[in-house]
Structure formats: structure tokens, C-alpha cells
């Protein structure tokens, strides 16, 4: 059958340019460029009613190359151009091709050249270089031929476009994924996803991302928490609860969540992102038009990629959480505390105070009740804080049993805090009461960093713990200076111990019946290389609070026993050696082990050793103390109470705990200087000793008068400058030699 000729004249031109009005699908745009009106009409007629791949055709008409250029610059997605070669000029058509490909960069648009002159053909070069789809003689364009030519071109256009869209889309996805990977936190990621997706589909960023709060799809399907929303959708979110208010959107979200896959209708789609690490994520996107196949495929790829980003962001969130939150109590940690202080300082918020709060004897609670109870107590304390403190107070855990607070001075009053925390806690059904020690710093110095502010509060806290446990201390520069001094002192002490700058001095103890020496007290001495004496009153407290006293005490015991062995060999006086034991040593778990080790292979009788402890030892766990005393007594050694009368007011422990001797504190002996002054306390101590079957020795005896009065009160043991000062071994030998004669 011969080709049906195009009959130009017969056609009426009343038809609309849209050749198929039946479908509202996006039409294929075909641009007809020709300076001959008849050709336009003939083309219109030839392509009338054409629907290809379910889409109608839309003809656009240009009558010159320049008009065509204008249209091409304004219209997007022109599938095919039917282009006349000869128009304004002989090469106007060919020049237009250059504009289309080179200037306008339209590479997907198919071009069909048409010429009226039989025998005229454009240079082959042009066809190759500019990707010309077809070349037709106008006379050849029968309806059927036109049909075939145009549909072939459209098919080619749609394929090229699809490939191009996928390629660009994939490039975008790769780009988007790497962009999104670098975003920290879910919220930022969610915003990024909406933006990238909108760009991918070439639509405005109207979307929201939410998590299904209840992971069980059978349960209330309306539980979604929005993490990000953009455009007009942001307005439809309740800002307090971050819930979705639009019923249609909610229905679509529920549908997607229950099917666990993406769903769409002609206006919107919900993309479903399963997550390994957290609740599944859903993205609602306003698309305003049905998605094309290629777009749908791209979305699938996108979703797979984004799920990886999502898990990645979740991990980052967790890391963030680890870095800034206390995992046990789920409140901010020290790092957050410092950041918060920095922020408040930047904002120049005035009247702020930071408080560090330490739970007294927390390690004891942990030891006796177990760490589980300790953890629970910390939780209860954290809850207690939020129950009575105003909302604007920053609450965090700084370390183990130390909490940090920051807020306006008027709402953070130490007394109020300790009152609230002194009310009992219900710890697994039992009442437990605690006390706290606080150090606080009022942020007056506007230039201080968060870290340094915390350091200052900590200096105050340490001071409070050292001197007023249960109370609060405010940071001052003075305290900091002293703290610094103590630190230097401690460093010096360590060095002194290592470099043998420490030695022992021995003070004689006298039997007042005979006036003879019957014992010694070992007292530590520190003489620096430059010859300066540093007194025990300066360095012992530092050694005690730092724990340094434990190795020092061991050295004292070793040295004192070795010297006593030596003295016994020399003089055979059966002397007793008093060794001071500070509470920190007594409490130390290895104390008994250390003692029994030192007592082994000793040529002395254990009875010759007397440990001096202060009354504060009696405040420790009675059972523990009784046990230690028992072991010491079993070994044969003795225990005296030092500085008796100055410490613990309740004396009942004397009946339950077994001590051997009371040392009357020097302050009471000082008051015995004149005959008129009272001797009530020494008298009482002496009779107490008698009643409880304990020996009594007077300390700090400096005068003959004191000696006489002690004898009158039947105290027959004494120690003091009156008899002899503490002396180093060589001097002591001299002293002994002068006194035993």
C-alpha cells in the first residue's frame, strides 16, 4: 500500500493544539519549526489524535529560528523538534541546531530535519556532530510516515531521558548520601533528606520525617514523632509534642508503617526506611503529581542508601550520647556541664552559681549494700534533685558520686539542697539517710571557661570534704592558693620519702615511780636538703588526705622497730615503742597484713609495741574496729588512745572496745600549771582508766609542778619536754646513757 499523502488544504485548523484532550497525563511536547504555515497545518493534521505510551502529544509552533530559540529557552522537556532547514536564511535551520545543542545544552531532545528541496541534504558532518535523529523530505511526510518518524523519535527521547534521569538521579543520590553521612544527629539528617529528595524529584521541599514511636504495628498506629518538617507542612506540626495533626497524612503514615513499605497516591508518597538500630523512619513527601517509573526506581535506591545514613546517624547520636550523657542516670555529664557553663557565660547570664555535691561515705554504701544499691541510690538522688529544684537548674553527674548543679543563686541555696537530700530515700524498700558535702563557686569572673569553673567548685568541694564534711564551702582564691600549696607540699613529701629526707625522732616516756625511761614515742621528722624543718602538723594532714600516709606509716613502723631492736641490744631496757597510726592507715584493708608481716622475725616481744590511735577510730564501723583490735591483741601488741578527751564526746565505746592505755591530751596538762587551776578532766580520765583497767599516761608535761600534781592524782606515766624532747637516734642514745646511770 502506498503512503497516504498529506493533504494540506483540506484540513480545518480549528482543532486545538492539544491533539488528545482525553488524558490529563503529561503530553509529549513536539516543536514544529517552519516558516511555511502550511507545513504546520499539515503536521497538525498528520499527528492528530496520536497517543503514544499513554501520553498525548502537544504541538508547539515556531515560525522562525529565533522564535524557536525563545520557545526552547522557556519550555522544558521538548521531546521532538521537526525542523525546517531553510528558513530566514539558507542555513537558519542548521544554525538553530548548534544553538540547541551547544548553547541551550539540550541533548535529549530529538531533532528531525525536514527540507522542501528535494536533493538538498545537510552536510553529513552536521548530522554526526549534532545527533540528528532523522532527515526527511517534506514531500515524504505522509501521515503514516510522520507518525512513524515522530513516535520513533519520542521513544528514543523517552529512553534517553530515562537513562539521563537515572544517571543524574544516581549521581544525586551518591552526592546526597555523602552529604547526609556527614550530618550529625537525626534531626539534621532528616532535614537533609527532605531537601535532597526534593532536589532529586525537582519539586519544592514539602515533607516531614517521623519515627514510629510505638514499634509494634498492631498497636495504636497514630503514634508518630516528627523529627523534621519543611515548607507548609512544618505548620501542621504541634510544636510541643511533635505529632502529626493532618488526618490524611496520619492515615498514609499508618498504612506505610503497617505494610512496612513505601506507599503513594497521586499527591503524596510515604517512604519507609527500616532501621536496624532504632525505630523505623517514615518520610511523607508532597509530590503534587504521580511519580514516573524512573523516579520510583530512584526513590527505591534512595531509600536503601538513606537507611544506611540513618543507622549511621543513630550510631553518631549514640556516640554523642556517650560523650555528653551519663548512661547510668540519663542526665548530662561533666562535658555537657562545661559546655553549658560556657554557653551561659557567652550569654552573660548573671548571678549564676555552680555547685558540686558529694555524697558522704558513698563508697561505704557501695561496699556494704552492693553496687546495685549504690546505682539505685544515685538514681533516687538525681530524681530528688529534679523534684525540688526549679526547671531552669542544670543537673548533671560530674563523676562517681558527685553531682553538678548550675542556676541562679537565689534558687541554689546549699542549706536548702542539703535539707532536701537529708530526707530519707526508699532504697529497695528500706529507708536510707545520707548527708552531702558541697563546694560552690559563684560565677563572678566573666572570662572563666566551663572547665575552670568546675575546677574551682571542685577545689571548694575538696576543702569542704577535708574540713567540714556535711557542710558547704564557697570557692575563694585563698582556698585555691592553699590547695596549690598542699599539692606542692605533697609532691615535696613524695620526693622527700624517696630521697630519705625523712627520719624518726623518739621522745622518752617516763615511769614517775622510778623516774626512769620505760618507753618511746616515734615521731616523724622532715628536714629538707636546705636544712628547713617541716613540722608534722604541716605534712601529716596532707599525707593523710592523699593516702601517702599508708606507705609512710609502713616505713615508720619498720624504722621504729629496727631502732628499738638496736636499742634493746645496746641497753636491754625493755622499752615500749609507741607508733602513731592515723585513721586512714587503720582503715586501710591491708593494715593487719602489714602489721603481722612486720611482726614476723622480730627479736622483740610484741608487748613492746603500742599503736596510738585517735578517738575518731571509735567512730568507724564498730565490728571492723573490734576485729582489728582483736588481731592486734592476739599478737601481743597494745593499743593506746591518743589525745584522749579532745575528740569523741561519747565514751561508751570504751566499754565495748578493748584499749590498753589512755594518753591524756597536752591541752589538759597545760591547765595544770598552777595549783589553783582545775584538774577535773585529768582526774576524771585517771579514774576512768582505773575503772576500765587501762593505763594512763600524761602528754606534754613541761614542768615539775605538773609532775607533782599528776603523782598526787595517781598518774604515774608521763611524756614531755620536761623529761626529754623528741630526739634522733644518736641523741637519744646519749640521753639514755645520761639517764640510766
Residues 625-684 that bind Ca ion (CB under 5 A): 642-643
523 contacts ligand C2E (rule: CB under 6 A): yes
Cα three-residue angle 76-82-85, rounded to 5 degrees: 120
Nearer to ligand C2E by Cβ, of 201 and 542: the residue is 542
The partner in contact with residue 271, picked from Ca ion, ligand C2E, none with C-beta cut-offs of 5 to 8 angstroms by kind, is none
554 contacts ligand C2E (rule: CB under 6 A): no
Residues 553-582 that bind Ca ion (CB under 5 A): 580
Residues 692-731 that bind Ca ion (CB under 5 A): 699
* Integer CA distances (angstroms), 190 to 197, 307, 314, in order: 11, 11, 12
286 contacts Ca ion (rule: CB under 5 A): no
Nearer to Ca ion by Cβ, of 509 and 580: the residue is 580
Rounded to whole angstroms, how far apart are CA atoms 126 and 98? 9
The partner in contact with residue 702, picked from Ca ion, ligand C2E, none with C-beta cut-offs of 5 to 8 angstroms by kind, is ligand C2E
Give the position of cell 523516579. 295
In the complex, the smallest distance separating the C-beta of residue 491 from ligand C2E, rounded to whole angstroms, is: 20
Nearer to Ca ion by Cβ, of 336 and 509: the residue is 509
Rounded to whole angstroms, how far apart are CA atoms 643 and 645? 6
The partner in contact with residue 700, picked from Ca ion, ligand C2E, none with C-beta cut-offs of 5 to 8 angstroms by kind, is ligand C2E
Sign of the CA dihedral with 281 first, then 285, 290, and 294 last: negative
Which among 120-128, 176-184, 459-467, 549-557 is the span making contact with ligand C2E, rule CB under 6 A? 549-557
In the complex, the smallest distance separating the C-beta of residue 651 from ligand C2E, rounded to whole angstroms, is: 19
x/- map, 632-671, ligand C2E, by CB under 6 A: ----------xx----------------------------
In the complex, the smallest distance separating the C-beta of residue 317 from ligand C2E, rounded to whole angstroms, is: 52
In the complex, the smallest distance separating the C-beta of residue 665 from ligand C2E, rounded to whole angstroms, is: 8
The partner in contact with residue 523, picked from ligand C2E, Ca ion, none with C-beta cut-offs of 5 to 8 angstroms by kind, is ligand C2E
149 contacts ligand C2E (rule: CB under 6 A): no
Residues 571-590 that bind ligand C2E (CB under 6 A): 580-582
Q: Which of 21, 258, 535, 677 binds ligand C2E (CB under 6 A)?
A: 535
Residues 451-510 that bind ligand C2E (CB under 6 A): 507
177 contacts ligand C2E (rule: CB under 6 A): no
Give the position of cell 529534679. 386
507 contacts Ca ion (rule: CB under 5 A): no
Rounded to whole angstroms, how far apart are CA atoms 638 and 650? 22
Helix, strand, coil share (%) of the chain residues, nearest 5: 45, 20, 30
Nearer to ligand C2E by Cβ, of 410 and 537: the residue is 537
Rounded to 5 degrees, φ, ψ at 280 are: -60, 150
Q: Which of 122, 231, 536, 551 binds ligand C2E (CB under 6 A)?
A: 536
In the complex, the smallest distance separating the C-beta of residue 368 from Ca ion, rounded to whole angstroms, is: 31
721 contacts ligand C2E (rule: CB under 6 A): yes
Burial 342-357 (b: 16+ CB within 10 A, else e): eebbeeeeeebbbbbb
Long-range own/partner contacts, residues 200-203 (CB < 8 A, 24 or more apart)? 200/169, 200/172, 200/173, 200/176, 200/298, 200/299, 200/302, 201/285, 201/287, 201/291, 201/295, 203/286, 203/287, 203/288, 203/289
**In the chain, what is the straight-line distance between the N-terminal and C-terminal CA atoms, in Å?**
154
Nearer to ligand C2E by Cβ, of 326 and 563: the residue is 563
Contact in structure between 184 and 313 (CB atoms under 8 Å)? yes
Contact in structure between 210 and 280 (CB atoms under 8 Å)? no
In the complex, the smallest distance separating the C-beta of residue 719 from Ca ion, rounded to whole angstroms, is: 9
In the complex, the smallest distance separating the C-beta of residue 614 from Ca ion, rounded to whole angstroms, is: 8
223 contacts Ca ion (rule: CB under 5 A): no
Alpha helices, DSSP H only, in 356-449? 362-369, 371-388, 414-422
537 contacts ligand C2E (rule: CB under 6 A): yes
Which among 60-68, 91-99, 487-495, 698-706 is the span making contact with ligand C2E, rule CB under 6 A? 698-706
Of 204, 173, 458, 122, residue with least CA distance to 298: 173
Nearer to ligand C2E by Cβ, of 159 and 708: the residue is 708
The partner in contact with residue 524, picked from ligand C2E, Ca ion, none with C-beta cut-offs of 5 to 8 angstroms by kind, is ligand C2E
Instruction: Give the number of other CB atoms < 10 A from CB of residue 10.
Output: 9
Of 418, 408, 336, residue with least CA distance to 384: 418
Rounded to whole angstroms, how far apart are CA atoms 57 and 18? 7
Of 616, 564, 626, residue with least CA distance to 585: 616
Residues 607-626 that bind Ca ion (CB under 5 A): 612
206 contacts Ca ion (rule: CB under 5 A): no
Instruction: Give the SS3 label for residue 227.
Output: strand
Of 371, 353, 351, residue with least CA distance to 363: 371
In the complex, the smallest distance separating the C-beta of residue 570 from ligand C2E, rounded to whole angstroms, is: 22
Residue ranges in contact with Ca ion by CB under 5 A: 580, 612, 642-643, 699
Which chain residues interact with ligand C2E by CB under 6 A? 507, 522-524, 535-537, 540, 549, 553, 556, 580-582, 612, 642-643, 700-702, 720-721, 726
Amino acid at each position: 500500500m502506498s503512503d497516504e499523502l498529506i493533504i494540506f488544504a483540506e484540513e480545518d485548523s480549528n482543532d486545538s493544539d492539544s491533539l488528545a484532550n482525553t488524558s490529563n497525563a503529561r503530553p509529549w511536547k513536539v516543536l514544529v519549526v517552519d516558516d511555511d504555515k502550511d507545513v504546520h497545518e499539515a503536521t497538525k493534521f498528520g499527528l492528530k489524535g496520536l497517543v503514544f505510551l499513554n501520553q498525548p502529544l502537544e504541538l508547539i509552533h515556531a515560525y522562525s529560528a529565533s522564535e524557536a530559540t525563545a520557545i526552547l529557552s522557556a519550555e522544558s522537556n521538548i521531546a521532538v523538534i521537526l525542523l525546517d532547514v531553510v528558513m530566514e536564511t539558507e542555513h537558519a535551520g542548521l544554525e538553530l541546531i548548534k544553538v540547541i545543542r551547544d548553547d541551550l545544552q539540550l541533548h535529549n531532545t530529538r531533532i528531525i530535519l525536514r527540507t522542501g528541496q528535494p536533493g538538498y541534504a545537510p552536510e553529513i558532518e552536521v548530522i554526526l556532530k549534532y545527533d540528528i535523529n532523522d532527515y526527511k523530505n517534506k514531500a515524504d511526510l505522509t501521515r503514516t510516515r510522520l507518525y512513524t518518524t515522530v513516535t520513533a523519535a519520542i521513544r528514543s527521547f523517552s529512553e534517553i531521558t530515562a537513562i539521563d534521569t537515572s544517571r543524574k538521579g544516581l549521581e544525586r543520590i551518591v552526592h546526597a548520601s555523602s552529604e547526609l553521612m556527614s550530618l550529625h544527629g537525626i534531626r539534621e539528617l532528616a532535614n537533609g533528606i527532605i531537601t535532597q529528595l526534593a532536589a532529586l524529584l525537582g519539586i519544592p521541599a514539602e515533607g516531614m520525617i517521623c519515627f514510629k514511636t510505638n514499634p509494634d504495628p498492631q498497636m495504636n498506629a497514630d503514634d508518630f514523632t516528627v523529627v523534621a518538617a519543611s515548607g507548609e507542612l512544618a505548620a501542621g506540626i504541634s510544636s510541643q509534642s511533635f505529632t502529626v495533626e493532618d488526618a490524611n497524612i496520619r492515615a498514609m503514615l499508618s498504612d506505610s508503617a503497617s505494610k512496612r513499605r513505601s506507599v503513594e497516591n497521586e499527591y503524596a508518597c510515604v517512604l519507609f526506611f527500616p532501621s536496624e538500630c532504632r525505630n523505623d523512619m517514615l518520610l511523607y513527601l508532597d509530590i503534587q503529581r504521580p511519580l514516573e517509573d524512573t523516579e520510583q526506581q530512584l526513590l527505591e535506591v534512595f531509600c536503601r542508601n538513606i537507611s544506611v545514613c540513618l543507622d549511621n546517624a543513630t550510631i553518631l547520636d549514640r556516640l554523642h550520647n556517650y560523650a555528653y550523657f551519663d548512661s547510668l542516670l540519663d542526665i548530662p555529664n561533666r562535658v555537657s556541664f562545661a559546655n553549658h557553663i560556657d554557653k551561659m557565660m557567652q550569654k552573660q547570664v548573671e548571678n549564676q552559681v555552680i555547685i558540686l555535691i558529694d555524697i558522704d561515705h558513698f563508697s561505704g554504701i557501695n561496699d556494704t549494700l552492693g553496687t546495685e544499691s549504690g546505682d539505685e541510690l544515685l538514681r533516687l538522688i538525681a530524681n530528688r534533685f529534679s523534684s525540688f529544684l526549679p526547671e531552669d537548674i542544670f543537673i548533671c553527674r560530674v563523676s562517681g558520686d558527685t553531682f553538678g548543679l548550675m542556676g541562679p543563686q537565689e534558687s541554689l541555696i546549699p542549706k536548702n539542697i542539703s535539707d532536701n537530700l537529708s530526707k530519707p530515700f526508699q532504697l529497695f524498700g528500706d529507708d536510707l539517710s545520707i548527708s552531702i558535702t558541697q563546694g560552690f563557686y559563684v560565677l563572678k569572673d566573666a572570662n572563666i571557661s566551663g572547665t575552670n569553673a568546675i575546677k574551682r567548685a571542685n577545689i571548694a568541694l575538696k576543702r569542704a570534704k577535708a574540713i567540714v564534711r556535711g557542710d558547704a564551702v564557697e570557692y575563694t582564691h585563698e582556698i585555691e592558693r592553699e590547695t596549690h600549696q598542699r599539692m606542692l607540699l605533697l609532691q615535696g613529701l613524695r620526693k622527700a620519702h624517696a630521697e630519705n629526707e625523712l627520719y624518726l625522732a623518739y621522745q622518752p616516756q617516763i615511769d614517775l615511780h622510778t623516774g626512769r625511761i620505760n618507753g618511746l614515742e616515734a615521731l616523724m621528722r622532715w628536714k629538707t636538703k636546705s636544712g628547713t624543718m617541716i613540722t608534722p602538723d604541716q605534712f601529716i594532714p596532707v599525707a593523710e588526705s592523699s593516702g601517702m600516709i599508708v606507705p609512710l606509716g609502713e616505713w615508720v613502723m619498720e624504722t621504729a622497730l629496727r631502732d628499738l631492736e638496736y636499742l634493746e641490744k645496746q641497753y636491754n631496757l625493755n622499752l615500749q615503742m609507741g607508733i602513731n597510726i592515723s585513721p586512714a592507715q587503720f582503715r586501710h584493708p591491708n593494715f593487719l597484713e602489714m602489721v603481722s608481716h612486720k611482726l614476723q622475725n622480730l627479736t622483740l616481744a610484741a608487748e613492746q609495741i603500742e599503736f596510738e590511735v585517735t578517738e575518731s577510730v571509735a567512730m568507724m564501723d564498730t565490728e571492723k574496729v573490734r576485729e582489728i583490735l582483736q588481731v592486734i591483741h592476739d599478737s601481743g601488741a597494745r593499743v593506746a588512745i591518743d589525745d584522749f578527751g579532745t575528740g569523741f564526746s561519747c565514751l561508751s565505746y570504751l566499754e565495748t572496745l578493748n584499749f590498753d592505755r589512755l594518753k591524756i591530751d597536752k591541752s589538759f596538762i597545760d591547765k595544770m600549771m598552777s595549783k589553783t587551776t582545775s584538774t577535773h578532766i585529768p582526774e576524771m580520765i585517771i579514774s576512768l582508766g582505773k575503772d576500765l583497767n587501762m593505763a594512763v599516761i600524761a602528754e606534754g608535761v613541761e614542768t615539775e609542778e605538773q609532775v607533782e600534781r599528776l603523782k598526787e592524782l595517781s598518774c604515774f606515766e608521763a611524756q614531755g619536754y620536761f623529761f626529754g624532747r623528741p630526739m634522733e637516734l644518736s641523741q637519744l642514745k646519749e640521753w639514755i646513757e645520761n639517764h640510766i646511770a
